[in-house]
Structure 1
Amino acid sequence: MKLYKTLIFVICSLIGLYLSSSCQRDDICAEDTPTTPFLIIKFIDDQTVSDIKQPNELQVKAIGVDEILDFTATNQDSILIPLRTNATLTEFEFTIDADDGGEDPNTDSLSFQYTPVEEYVSSACGFRVSYNGLTRTLTQEENGGNWIKRITIVEDNVTDETAAHVLIFH
């Protein structure tokens, strides 16, 4: 009986040793591990140049993507939008008064150009992409009907989500 208990103990110890040695630190991606950042856009009043001005009933749609990012329910002074990781350009349509019954929607086309830089994080987390050399192009309406008056790039390298990268004045 004593031999049987010793044998069970040895087998359990070997199984425990095997299980503890097969789990590597890289097998789990920690929550605080940096991932591909979103582009942070902050909206500013064009008249005061310093006051935050939330756009009315804002919707953002990436050209070539069916999903609409709807910010109409939450009136925010800043938004986070994704850039394409497999391209050097992402085009968007920014629409205000999208759900407002009294106003006609006003859509401006805006594109962001950048160089995506892929970085290996770990085997569990995979790769993350940062965006370097961010520039922008606003398509001007012929009748001067743009609701976006001007755009300022605050940070041309999008590597994290700690502060606004772009200011849109309207």
Structure 2
Amino acid sequence: MKRLTIIAMSLLLANSFWSCEKDDICPEGTPTTPNLVIEFYDAANPETLKPVTNLGVVASGFSTGFPYNGVSKITVPLKTNEDQTILQFIQNGSDTNPNNDNIDVLTFNYSRNDIYVSRACGYKTVFQLTEDPILTDDSSLWILSRFVTQPNIQNENETHIKIYF
């Protein structure tokens, strides 16, 4: 009797794997909701990429965010449930001294489109930037200019925004 139970359980387990469809599991590498790709440039020499040092990027309403150091290209997520994302770009924001932080606030406005990927993967959201990011004016801006280079955010293979500092 015990042997029959083990055989029955083995057949049941094997059958569950055989009945699994290929679209029951979202394959690794399947395109998902893309992040916004931003490149940083030297304002004095606009063709030259310029690495950012101790940059912190924090979404409005959050106390922690993404630290970047020594890179000229970053990716940041946009909100998939709203048509606007507000991000603080904090110069010296990823170091340990909050007294030297210089915060510039950028507002990204866009439209969203949810695209069905598959039963296993669900939907992904793609974005269409509707204007250059809005820079909130303050007395000590470190971002000197910015503009959209690719308004269609469908993947992370190209730069969407250039920032000059």
Same structural fold, with TM-score higher than 0.5 when normalized by the shorter chain: yes
Which has more radius of gyration?
1
Cα displacement (A) at 1:56: 2.3
> Cα 1:22–1:66, aligned 2, differ >3 Å: closer, same or farther?
farther
TM-score (norm 1): 0.82
Match of 1:75 in 2: 70
Match of 1:44 in 2: 41
Match of 1:87 in 2: 82
Give the alignment partner of residue 134 of structure 2, picking from 137, 153, 164. Answer: 137
Number of aligned residue pairs: give it: 158
Match of 1:167 in 2: 162
Give ranges in structure 1 of 5+ residues lacking alignment: 1-10
Q: Please say if 1:115 is aligned against 2:140.
A: no
Alignment-mate amino acid for residue 62 of structure 1: A
Going by fraction, where is strand more abundant, 1 or 2?
2
Match of 2:5 in 1: none
Q: Distance in 2 between the 1:97 and 1:134 partners? A: 29
> Does the CA contact (< 8 Å) of 1:151 and 1:167 recur in 2?
yes
Which portions of structure 1, spanning 4 or more consecutive aligned residues, are displaced by more than 6 angstroms?
Answer: none
Cα displacement (A) at 1:18: 4.4
TM-score (norm 2): 0.85
Give identity over the alignment, percent: 32
